[in-house]
Chain A
Amino acid sequence: MENSPCQCMEESYQELVKFINQYEGESESLIMVLHKIQETLGFVPVDLQVKVADVLRVPISKVFGVISFYAFFTLKPKGKYHISVCKGTACFVRGASKVLDAIEKKIGLVPGDTTNDGKYSLEIVYCLGACGLSPVMTINKEVHARLTPQRIPEILAEYT
């Protein structure tokens, strides 16, 4: 239970374990069960992966294979501010890489990771459907358009 920082987490944990236990031997329910965990906790902790493997009778190597395959699943909780930088074709050709470099430098984070204080998490996405505004990123649900590396510190300063 070392992954649960507070009482509410503890409760959702217990409920998740009950939820998982309903699917004994049902290997075909793997992705659905992992979805539930991801949605409830914001990530899929290692001990619950092992639990899922045991109960659904899916090898742990495969459970982790699924989690590491799909970008939807994460191994760490997302930060208070979750940054999604688009590297789709339009954003890419209009300098998304430089924007990403600037963010990485500013918050000291590589894509897929969360800062130790839990404040920021960073991911790369491929097309947010706003190519006309490229390069573009979202922080939680807010969209930031026509980015330049120079604008990054000022934007991030709004999220404290």
Chain B
Amino acid sequence: MEMVTLSIDNQRVEIEAGATILEAAKKINVDIPTLCYIEEINEIGACRICVVEVQRAKALQAACVTPISQNMRVWTNTPAVRKARRLTLELILSNHPRECNTCIRSLNCELQKLADRFGIREIRFWGDDLSYTIDESTPSIVRDTNKCILCRRCVAVCDQVQNVRAIAPQERGFKTTIAPAFHLDLADVACVLCGQCTLVCPTAALHERDQTEEVWAALADPKKHVVVQTAPATRVSLGEELGMEIGSIVTGQMVAALRRLGFDKVFDTDFSADLTIVEEGNELLHRIKTGGVLPMITSCSPGWIKFVEHFYPKFLPNLSTCKSPQQMLGALIKTYYAEKIGLDPADIFAVSCMPCTAKKFEAQREEMRNSGYPEIDVVLTTREIGRMLRQAGIDFNKLPTEDYDDPLGISTGAGLIFGATGGVMEAALRTVYELITGEELEEINFTVVRGLEGVREASVQAGDLTVKVAVAHGLGHACKLMEAIKDGTSGYHFIEIMCCPGGCIGGGGQSIPTNREIREKRIAAIYTADELMTIRKSHLNPSVQKLYEDFLEKPLGKKSHELLHTHYTDRGTAPHLKASE
């Protein structure tokens, strides 16, 4: 690798040829501010906040897109640089709504932080007041064009990472907006509601639908029995919301905190993740034995499901019919649990804490009310739970750790690793191996399916059967895998796909920021938490075993079929538009 030497703020730095000024500066801990930049995804030099002075260059250069050269001299903090950055900020702010106090991103807004960092105390320009209608058409994501600064991060993520392309720049000049085709609402186009755009939006132009008030109201209603479940990935991200170190494992504090908020029972989605493995594992074996549709593809990720429904309807029969763990637990709460404690399901209010915006959509699907009631009443993202805990003044550092409630709170390490890409596959392999061979699996860490490689594959010998599996995370990688299996010759038995990069730990409802480094730390926390569990195979979960004895009878049985399985719909790529024939 050819190395280049340059100086930044009179410090010498050596870096590979082809690097940008921004990368070189990072190497020597010189912090150049950015706004539109996302590493490897949106490097377009649009916002001009990262401008620096380069010797002999006619104008200031955008550090994020300017390649370094031998003996280049760069200054990042000169009067000209400061003046340009301040001017840029003032211009961006000139038509930005001045409502920071009431904004959902207040104190976690990149524009607000930059205005503070550069000491903007006065904005000399007053642009047009924007009055775009706020798009609240979906249950998951709110799109407030008035707060958009046109950085195009959302467009880049939607296009390059997720291959969804629901939004793009429309019109031009001052009329430019980031919107779906024909300025339609998000609900009217093929958006999968993954919320990755909400993770990268520097302001509140794209944000989760906040449903905390609905939950506060239920908690205050004496007639309601309010139960909550927490997804695997929330326990390694919620700490960040409350100012703890990235990747802190806060399972016990989270349970204690939710009790203090007034939830009557705190259950664990890890329990129903175990249940999913038992149902899905048996479904896989059934398909293999009876010549059913293969490869079977996981169905836990609601963004992925909606993506298949829009873009790959041909593969709908490949999807496991298992509902997601959230919905399985919801279905059991309103039937098995209601019966057990002698409550009318109508009086039970089921909340779920999820790393996910698409879960809000999933909970509203027509199919998700088999018991006659919505299985889940409200889905809260990690960010919303953080908001509730801050309102209540709860400090994780001062809380004891507490355990989940019986019986829907007992879980295994296998259920827990659902939170990371490859986790469902690993959990399934731990169970399927024993189901096939009847022998105990000794080495239970299938590290071959772990990691952040976009598509991973493995073969696992279970008795006479070589189980061929593949894993993909992020819809862009999922597309590559789908194209590879299109002709039906792949030979895979089982495929795990998670909509979001890194799996649920990188979900669209997680703490902001979420980037590659943070994803890696959360994944490491997931596997650490798995190692700490006593039971690490789903089918050995005693509560799951008891659930079959008392209620469900057997995997894939009649009751399971009614409550735990579902079906899917072909939604088309342009649901509200028709092409000419």
Contacts and interface: CB of A to CB of B under 8 A. Distances in A.
Interface of A: 1, 13, 17, 46-51, 53-54, 59-65, 68-69
Contacts of B171: 68-69
B580 A48 contact: yes
A49 B169 CA distance: 16
B170 A54 contact: no
B170 to A, nearest CB: 5
Contacts of A60: 181, 189, 573-574, 577
B577 A61 contact: no
**Main SS class of interface, B:** loop
B340 interface: no
Nearest to A55: B579
A65 B574 CA distance: 15
Query: Which among A47, A59, A61, A63 has the greatest number of chain B C-beta atoms within 10 A?
Result: A61
Nearest to A47: B580
B175 to A, nearest CB: 8
A48 B179 CA distance: 20
B172 interface: yes
Contacts of B574: 50, 53, 60
Contacts of A54: 573, 579
Nearest to A70: B172
B435 to A, nearest CB: 42
B165 A59 contact: yes
The 9 closest A-B pairs by CB, nearest first: A59-B165, A61-B168, A64-B181, A50-B579, A51-B579, A60-B181, A65-B168, A61-B181, A68-B171
Given A47-B579, A61-B170, 20 more contacts: A13-B580, A17-B581, A46-B182, A47-B578, A47-B580, A49-B181, A53-B574, A53-B579, A59-B159, A59-B165, A60-B181, A60-B189, A61-B181, A63-B181, A64-B170, A64-B182, A65-B170, A68-B170, A68-B171, A69-B171
B172 A61 contact: no
**Main SS class of interface, A:** helix
B166 interface: yes
Interface string B144-176: 000000000000000100000111111110000
B180 interface: yes
A19 to B, nearest CB: 12
Contacts of A62: 165, 168
A48 B574 CA distance: 13
Interface in B547-581: 573-574, 577-581
A138 B581 CA distance: 38
5 contacts: A46-B577, A47-B577, A47-B578, A47-B579, A69-B170
Contact of A61 (B189, B579, B580, B581): B189
A99 B390 CA distance: 58
Nearest to B168: A61
A130 B74 CA distance: 47
Contacts of A1: 580
Nearest to B171: A68
A64 B166 CA distance: 11
Given A69-B171, A69-B172, A61 B578 contact: no
Contacts of B573: 54, 60
Query: Which among B166, B171, B182 has the greatest number of chain A C-beta atoms within 10 A?
Result: B182
A49 B181 CA distance: 10
